[in-house]
Amino acid sequence: MAQTFTIFSLLPTELRLRIWHFAFDNFPRVIEFSKPSRKPDNIVRWKALASTTLTLLQVNREARYEFLLRYSSPFNPSGIKPYHAKSLLINYQTDTIYFRVDVMSHVLAPKRLWRDVCDGAEEEMKNNLKSLAGNDRFWQIMMPFISGDRHAGFREFEDFKRLQAVVVVPFLEQRLDNMYGSPRLEGFEECLPRGVYEAEFVPWFTVGFANTSRSVPVTIKLCREVEKVEQNAAL
């Protein structure tokens, strides 16, 4: 059987656009933001790295035109590297933002984090993002137990109007625990908690989000990082 469809360009325009539409959801990405701890936070920018390139944007002009309508570039040009902020695109329907914070990082205030990453576009991010992930340290900083009230730390996230999925990556499940030397992240895989400490994460988040006034339910997942397998160019 043929492995390629060589007459795609000859199909009626309406049919081609429908095919592009169905293909779109098959290319979700993870945009990973990492933060080192060796220098003050006001000096070191966030390092941003997408799990894959935007393959569909590179097919042809028609595909690029259709898919660019679905992407946004809300990121702060002075707050992230190595990308130029305008070239780091996100689709809020399919992509996940993942914050990976070093265990020794300085304390980050939630409002400052979003300002640093999305200066001027915080409201856009909070109104549209559907999937948010973070490692153990990130969630401890963003949603701490405050004065014995286990729900207090979640109030910051009531502003995320469409948030549907939250991913928690425990410390032991981080790839090599090395944000710069480790391979590119491909995605997440659900895992079972290791011990009592990790087992408390899921009910903590579930109860915490249920305590907010948000109308959209949030699914909590405990996951491990999946490394991207690079193809050998010599093969």
Q: How far apart are CA 187 and CA 208, in angstroms?
A: 25
128-139 pLDDT, tens digit each: 999 999 988 888
Q: Take residue 207 and report the two structure tokens written for it.
A: 């109860």
Pairing of strands 96-101, 165-169: unpaired
DSSP H helical segments within the chain, as ranges?
13-24, 61-68, 110-117, 122-128, 136-142, 195-199, 201-210
Q: Give the whole-angstrom CA distance, residue 134 versus residue 146.
A: 19
Contact (CB, 8 A) for 161 and 126: yes
pLDDT, tens digit, for every residue of 54-79?
777 777 887 777 777 788 888 887 77
Where in the chain are the domains? 11-227
d(CA 124, CA 91): 12
Report whether pLDDT(100) > 60.
yes
Beta partners for residue 227, in sequence order? 185
Pair type for strands 131-135 and 80-81? unpaired
170-213 residue pLDDT tens: 887 776 545 555 677 888 999 888 888 788 777 777 776 766 67
> Residue 151: its pLDDT value, please?
53
* Mean pLDDT for all residues in the chain: 76
What 3-state DSSP class applies to 27?
coil
